[in-house]
């Protein structure tokens, strides 16, 4: 049986596409069956490819995300995904508001899955430089490995 995971940030052009790419690759290498997607809480960038700096850092790590397209999260996502994982606290608060009463999806903060980083957000690199995007990649890659371990051990 495959586990479904949706990563959510604000614009769906920087952090959550990188989390989607990293987790998909970590799961693929492990042979772990997972359905992986990403979305934004906002709609400003809907239909757009990831930020060119996000595309560049993914490519530096061997992954082409140029065909990804941003979308805004929808109510139905809460019934479609097993896990909806927020990149920062603001995204998580927004998800809790949108979710309403009943939902299949379990909500969490990405770095909650990393020992020692519980409660931390992945810093928004949008207004920064390439170095910020490298830090984002390091965060989402490490968190993807930790998330996979948690999913495999059934601790989330
Ligand atoms: P993301 O980054 O949430 O990681 O995709 C941002 C992208 C766009 C904006 C803010 C953050 N924006 O203000 O347009």
Take residue 67 and report the two structure tokens written for it. Answer: 């065909």
- Measured distance CA(27)–CA(36) in Å, rounded: 10
48-80 per-position pLDDT tens digit? 999 999 999 999 999 999 999 999 999 999 999
Query: Does the beta carbon of 32 sit less than 6 angstroms from any atom of ligand 1?
Result: no
- Average confidence (pLDDT) over 112-130: 97
The residues facing 6 across adjacent strands are: 37, 84
CA-nearest residue for atom 6, ligand 1, is: 11
Q: Which residue has the CA at smallest separation from atom 13 of ligand 1?
A: 11
pLDDT tens digits, 124-147: 999 999 999 999 999 999 999 999
Sign, CA dihedral 105-58-142-121, equals negative
Q: Whose CA is nearest to atom 9 of ligand 1?
A: 11
**72 CA distance to ligand 1 centroid (A)?**
12
Answer yes or no: are the C-beta atoms of 9 and 91 closer than 8 Å. Answer: yes
């Amino acid at each position: 049986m495959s586990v479904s995971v949706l990563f959510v940030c604000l614009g769906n052009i920087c952090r959550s596409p990188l989390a989607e790419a990293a987790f998909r690759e970590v799961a693929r290498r492990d042979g772990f069956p997972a359905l992986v997607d990403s979305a934004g809480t906002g709609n400003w960038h809907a239909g757009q490819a990831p930020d060119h700096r996000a595309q560049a850092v993914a490519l530096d790590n061997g992954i082409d995300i140029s065909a990804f397209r941003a979308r805004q999260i929808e109510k139905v996502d809460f019934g479609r995904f097993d896990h909806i994982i927020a990149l920062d606290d603001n995204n998580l608060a927004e998800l809790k508001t949108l979710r309403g009463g009943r939902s299949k999806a379990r909500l969490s903060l990405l770095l909650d899955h990393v020992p020692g980083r519980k409660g931390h957000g992945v810093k928004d690199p949008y207004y920064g430089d390439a170095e910020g995007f490298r830090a984002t990649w390091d965060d989402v890659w490490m968190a993807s490995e930790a998330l996979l371990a948690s999913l495999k051990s059934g601790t989330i």
